[in-house]
A and B are shown apart, each in its own frame.
Chain A
Amino acid sequence: MSFRTLVTPFALAVLLGGAVAHGPAARAQGTASAALTAPDALVKSLSEDVLASIRKDPSLQSGDIARLNALVDEKILPYVNFEKMTRLAVGRSWRDASPEQRQALTREFRALLVRTYAGAVSAAKDYQVRMQPFRADPAAEADVTVRTQAVPARGEPIQLDYRLEKTGAGWKIYDVNVLGVWLVENYRNTFTGEISRGGIDGLIKSLVDRNRALESKAS
């Protein structure tokens, strides 16, 4: 029996970033067709595209932040709504935040997620994406969950799910789940606590400090 229950929370963390960076890697189709891409097809092509990029780029595998950010900007950003992700994690205080604060929160949260992923990206290259049955009807619904598995060369597959929202610019991912742990929900209590202690600026500062600390550790 031993540590069984302890193992999983930690294991999830390994892939946490993975999920984020796996985000959408749909090929650069024309914008018109991108808007029509079904959510499950989008997740599939995005995951495969990002994994392919990682496999052929040793500097990504070594966790090079500049390269990783470029990858996120180029392939992932168009298909992820980082602002919504941040808004949901911040919760009701989002309403009280000024536009500048919202921008800062989104920027720093994204930076934290990318840095987290940098630590796991070398492992990500050994995974394949396997789509799970998609049950929603994307024509009728504006908010769907796409279920996938990350399948390693050896060992057991890892549950990796995405929530997407239909927008004017096509489907956008706004939350990911690793082994049943949703990213947004996992940050919510932390964010609420930071805000109750130091206000929104307090949370921004914590995020900035954490990102700086990670930066200085990496270099």
Chain B
Amino acid sequence: MKAPTTLLRFASALVLAAALGACASIPPGAGSNPVDPWEVYNRHMFDLNDRVDRVTLKPVAQAYEAIVPEPLRICVNNAFRNLGEPVNAINNLLQLKPSEAMTDLSRFFWNSTAGGLGCFDLAAMAGAPRSNEDFGQTLGVWGFAPGPYFVLPLLGPSSVRDASGRLFDFLGTDPVWYIGNIALRNSLVGFRFVDTRASLLPAEKVLAAAALDRYLFVRDAYLQLRRNLVYDGNPPRLKDPDEDDETAPADGGPKAGGPAAGRPAADQPPAAAPR
């Protein structure tokens, strides 16, 4: 019964936050960019997420950062990301990268045991770096375009493809959801949100300085970043719109089994991206 109450409380915080603030400012011409036909909705949701975050997750993450010493926070972060190894492994397999999938599994095995339930990333020290895969990327490798940019409630930036991918990872391969004890499972899910949010705190300040329009900055960064991940850090170059005929770079992701650019060479460590 505890979970529904928490959920209810969270929902009311959300409604409150929505009611408190003015609406997001929508610039004229919103939605005219083909990558973002739902810009009007997206801007409102982005704004709402921000408001909700400011009264819920962010203060908790700040308190967590202030109270818990750094080595312990790193340990927690490693442990949560260790739980993501099955997701990495399955998606590497689905992308026909069996050796990466094997690495993910052996990382999971060694870090879960000798690494103290994932607290220490021993495997990385031994030269087996963590990969960063999910089903959204797998769909990209299979040739699915990202589709419209889509800001998810509470979860933030996504696309139609990546949101579907998330759902798959979430329901299918996230080990946390296989924990039978509901209270433990929900606590872990909540804790993981706090851990992730805390790791974003330093970046947030820089984002605030860099962006003239935070929404656009985050959107365009998200789309570039995901494209980079689909190509494992080595996407083919887009045409420079500087040279006359600029068509919006409609990114279709790599063709399945397509050009070599879609696969990193073996000597090239995968791009590491904090999750």
User: Which residues from chain A sit less than 8 Å from chain B, CB to CB?
Assistant: 1-14, 16-17, 87-88, 91-92, 112, 115-116, 118-120, 123, 132-133, 145, 149, 154-159, 179-182, 185-190, 193-194, 196-197, 206-207, 210, 214
Contact = CB atoms under 8 A, between A and B. Distances in A.
Contact of A180 (B134, B202, B227): B227
B156 A214 contact: no
Contacts, number: 179
A203 B272 CA distance: 34
Contacts of A188: 220, 241
B193 interface: yes
B192 interface: yes
Interface in B181-199: 189, 192-193, 196-197, 199
A14 B202 contact: yes
B180 interface: no
B104 interface: no
Interface string B193-220: 1001101101111110111110011111
A210 B212 contact: yes
Contacts of A87: 242
Contacts of A179: 225, 228, 271, 273
Contacts of A9: 157, 218, 221-222, 225
B216 A190 contact: yes
Contact of A189 (B33, B124, B196): B33
Given A8-B225, A8-B275, A206-B212, 4 more contacts: A2-B192, A3-B155, A179-B271, A180-B273
Nearest to B158: A5
A12 B271 CA distance: 12
Interface residue range, chain B: 35 or more
Nearest to A160: B271
A112 B206 CA distance: 11
Interface string B118-161: 00000010000110001010000000000000000001111000
Contact of A157 (B158, B193, B212, B272): B272
Contact of A5 (B166, B174, B224): B166
Contacts of A206: 212
Given A2-B193, A133-B267, A156-B272, A193 B169 contact: no
B170 to A, nearest CB: 5
A11 B221 CA distance: 10
B156 A3 contact: yes
B271 A159 contact: yes
A119 B205 contact: yes
Instruction: List 5 A-B pairs, minimum CB-CB distance, nearest first.
Output: A180-B228, A156-B272, A10-B203, A13-B207, A3-B196
A210 B208 CA distance: 10
B28 interface: yes
B189 to A, nearest CB: 7
Contact of A13 (B124, B203, B227, B246): B203
A99 B196 CA distance: 46
